[in-house]
């Protein structure tokens, strides 16, 4: 699949890996992808190929501290760092991207794009915002000792790295996809105290700033058997989302990653149908 890669300067000089995948049919628009925690943009190749064949180009990039981008693995001091990086990446590639442009975020990426629309809604002005299993609230059980240690470390030693507790079998029912995640050298299994504290702050701010999401189109992909991100919290946020132009697609038996589930082609088709309506 044809693509054009470039390193973009992010917040405080971090070097962000980015790649533009042009449409393989008559251009219909573009998608800016924001991946989840501890993974990387290379895991989205299949859906990118599917949509490219239907006229949709894709802009992929690795978050700071992830994949091929620089930065301490799994560390930030503020989610604002991700938002700055997203602006830098989008600005760099904007002229090459056919419109309309949709913004897609999975898990951590879902929290990022929702905060981005709240904080910088005038930048980019995507035709739609799509979120998959957004990190509104963790469902993954965090032991009490780890919570206590994390709270202390966030103040005194924010770069302290602890096991994340995420298991490949919590992501998908597809054994091959779970195994590929487990064996992926660009996937890591830790989280820092500073990152966790920054995420908690962003989750609180997301609810406080909910009135800022009163316009624009939104699509939520909700795996209801997700053991990682709490689907109840996501549904509640969707129900309180003030924009009238919103749609919810639910997957009752799906784990965290609907784009890697056994029925993923159905999800691809639904995405293509939604994008065609923009």
Set out the domains of the chain in order of their start, with CATH numbers: 4-276 (3.40.50.1820)
User: Phi and psi for 126 in degrees, rounded to 5?
Assistant: -60, 150
Span of 98-102, 121-125, 222-226 with lowest mean pLDDT: 121-125
What value does the mean pLDDT of the chain take?
A: 93
pLDDT tens for residues 133-142? 999 999 866 5
DSSP 100-165: SEEEEEETHHHHHHHHHHHH-TTSS--SEEEEES--SSB-S---HHHHHHHHHHHHH-TT-EEE--
Q: What is the pLDDT of residue 149?
A: 47
pLDDT at residue 266 tops 70: yes
pLDDT tens for residues 77-101? 999 999 999 999 999 999 999 999 9
- Distance (Å, rounded) from C-alpha 273 to C-alpha 278? 9
Q: What is the CA radius of gyration of the chain?
A: 17
Structure letter (DSSP) for residue 63 = P
In this structure, the number of other CB atoms found within 10 A of the CB of residue 154 comes to: 20
Q: Which two tokens stand for residue 269?
A: 């088709």
- Distance (Å, rounded) from C-alpha 207 to C-alpha 106? 18
Q: Which two tokens stand for residue 259?
A: 């784009």
The single residue listed with the structure tokens 């790649």 is 19
pLDDT at residue 69 tops 70: yes
Q: Which two tokens stand for residue 271?
A: 């995405």
pLDDT at residue 72 tops 70: yes
The strand pair at 15-21 and 218-223 is best described as: unpaired
Instruction: Say if CB 41 and CB 106 are below 8 A apart.
Output: no
- Distance (Å, rounded) from C-alpha 114 to C-alpha 243? 13
Place 144 in a pLDDT band, splitting at 50, 70 and 90. low
Q: What is the pLDDT of residue 164?
A: 82
Sheet holding 15-21, edge to edge: 4-9, 15-21, 56-61, 29-34, 101-106, 128-132, 218-223, 246-251
């Amino acid at each position: 699949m044809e693509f054009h890669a470039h390193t973009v300067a992010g917040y405080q000089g971090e070097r962000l890996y980015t790649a533009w995948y042009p449409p393989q049919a008559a251009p219909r628009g573009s998608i800016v992808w924001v991946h989840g925690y501890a993974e990387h943009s290379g895991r989205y190749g299949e859906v990118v190929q599917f949509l490219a064949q239907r006229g949709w180009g894709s802009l992929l990039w690795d978050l700071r501290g992830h994949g091929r981008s620089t930065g301490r693995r799994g560390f930030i001091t503020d989610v604002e760092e991700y938002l700055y990086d997203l602006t830098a990446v989008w600005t760099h590639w904007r002229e090459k991207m056919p419109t309309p442009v949709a913004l897609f975020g999975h898990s951590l990426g879902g929290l990022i794009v929702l905060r981005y629309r709240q904080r910088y809604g005038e930048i980019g002005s995507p035709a739609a915002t799509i979120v998959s299993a957004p990190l509104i609230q963790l469902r993954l059980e965090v032991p009490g000792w780890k919570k206590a240690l994390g709270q202390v470390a966030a103040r005194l030693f924010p770069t302290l790295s602890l096991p994340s507790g995420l298991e490949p079998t919590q992501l998908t029912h597809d054994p091959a996809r779970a195994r590929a995640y487990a064996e992926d050298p660009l996937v890591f299994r830790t989280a820092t105290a500073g990152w966790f504290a920054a995420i908690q702050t962003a989750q609180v701010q997301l609810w406080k700033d909910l009135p800022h999401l009163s316009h624009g189109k939104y699509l939520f992909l909700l795996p209801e058997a997700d053991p990682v991100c709490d689907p109840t919290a996501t549904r509640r946020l969707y129900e309180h989302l003030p924009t009238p132009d919103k749609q919810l697609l639910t997957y009752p038996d799906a784990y965290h990653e609907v784009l890697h589930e056994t029925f993923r082609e159905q999800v691809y088709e639904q995405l293509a149908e939604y994008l065609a309506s923009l």
